[in-house]
Homo-oligomer: A and B are copies of this chain.
């Protein structure tokens, strides 16, 4: 019913550019020099904000663009044939979404805004031809996909091996680290998604999320006030999550 097109109709006015964007060190332009960044900037479309609940693209639609989140947050999810949704990721500012569409020419998932969100749209055909010219851009795209694969494989491990507390701890720390990379506090932040979304993402019942949050508060590991979260004891959370504080275990298991 509601179209997914309206969201990115062009909008005139002062628009940020990659060159001045505070996120360019985290985003696609990462490894580009100034002139290459300018070429990338030229093909980027910046649309009007999409509102909470609106779709950026939908599973099955033709894969036409890749998107970078400028402000706000989205969730991406796949639909099982019985209609159940499985959230596969949350996407904060500077993160790229849609690349999985490379598989067969259709988006394999749906992207929905968790709050008012602005995105940079990068039309595929133009990205392709630019990538033909700029090996660095091509590598950055591959890296981004590699990161996505690694994330998904970590999730498989989480879903298959971790219990409820480990899952929630892992989740909170993941979000924490991502905010930190963006220059925000790693211990005090606001979760853009609902408890239901968290439970879906982590493969648990909402009630379980709520209970674990409560237990973590009783143990003085965190403090919550609605969507606001304070990590009181990140060290213990890291232990709980089964992660090393610094590198994500990394090369620790040589023998």
The interface of chain A, by Cβ under 8 A from chain B, is: 1, 59-60, 78-84, 86, 88, 99-104, 106, 108-109, 128, 131-132, 135, 138-139, 141-143, 145-150, 152-157, 159-161, 200, 202-203, 242-244, 249-255
Contact = CB atoms under 8 A, between A and B. Distances in A.
21 contacts: A1-B255, A60-B251, A78-B157, A79-B249, A80-B242, A86-B161, A88-B156, A99-B142, A100-B150, A102-B142, A102-B145, A103-B146, A103-B149, A109-B153, A128-B135, A142-B145, A149-B152, A152-B156, A156-B156, A159-B203, A160-B200
Query: DSSP class of A's interface residues: helix, strand, loop or mixed?
Result: helix
B60 A253 contact: yes
Contacts of A200: 160
Contacts of A103: 143, 146-147, 149-150
B86 A157 contact: yes
